[in-house]
Amino acid sequence: MFKTHKYKIAFVALIAAVTFASIAAISPKEQPRQRNLKVLPKDISHDSLDHLMDYYKVALNVKCGYCHARSASNPKKPDMASDANPIKEVTRKMILMTNEMNDKYINSISHPTSDATPLQLVTCNTCHRGKAKPDVAAIKMHDD
Ligand code: HEC
Ligand code: HEC
């Protein structure tokens, strides 16, 4: 009697352990954390998003926290999905502007010369060149 009971408990514990392990293993795929992407493609891969964010960092010479807010519950941690940092919204406008310049204008250029190099697209770095705000002074005309 007692023996069977013990066996039952062990069995239930085993099932629970297996179930827990499989939930832990599949949950990141089955329930992806809701992303807060308003301009980048919603299905962008984790790697591409990572590379893009690193690129912004270098093009503007800033840290992630220049655009991203801290977590409201734990200020030691960043909260990448939060929109509390207004620079994030400026950046969304910048992404849309850059895309539009390429889609509407650069991509419609047919090189008037025999130059066969591929079209050079506009990037953040075309303007920013390692500055959060493009350095206009550096390209001022002599007479102003
Ligand atoms: C120049 C500003 C800027 C910098 C620097 C930047 N980000 Fe972002 N990041 C954004 C914007 C804007 C979005 C939202 C894009 C959208 O709405 O489609 C975003 C979105 C993200 C997301 C998706 C969050 C979610 O789940 O909604 C992650 C993760 C992220 N950034 C990580 C990083 C990391 C890590 C760094 C530093 C290596 C970094 N970012 C640097 C502007 C920036
Ligand atoms: C055609 C030029 C141009 C391109 C391309 C461009 N930017 Fe900008 N960006 C500017 C200018 C000019 C400002 C300054 C506006 C102002 O006076 O606040 C600015 C401001 C910003 C700011 C705010 C900086 C601050 O401290 O206020 C961020 C962030 C930014 N850009 C990110 C980006 C990112 C990321 C990209 C690429 C997706 C990009 N920009 C592409 C011209 C450009």
pLDDT of residue 1: 44
> Relative to the alpha carbon of 57, which ligand is closest?
1
Residue 86, phi-psi category: left (phi > 0), alpha (psi -120 to 50), beta (remainder): alpha
The Cα 81–Cα 90 span in angstroms is 15
pLDDT at 77: 97
Query: What per-residue string of b and e applies to 12-33 under the rule 16 or more CB within 10 Å gives b?
Result: eeeeeeeeeeeeeeeeeeeeee
Q: Is the pLDDT of residue 18 over 60?
A: no
For residues 55 and 98, what is the distance between their CA atoms, to the nearest angstrom?
14
Ligand 2 pocket, CB under 6 A: 56, 60, 87, 90-91, 94-95, 98, 122, 124, 126-128, 132-134
Distance from C-alpha of 62 to C-alpha of 50, rounded to nearest angstrom: 15
pLDDT of residue 110: 84
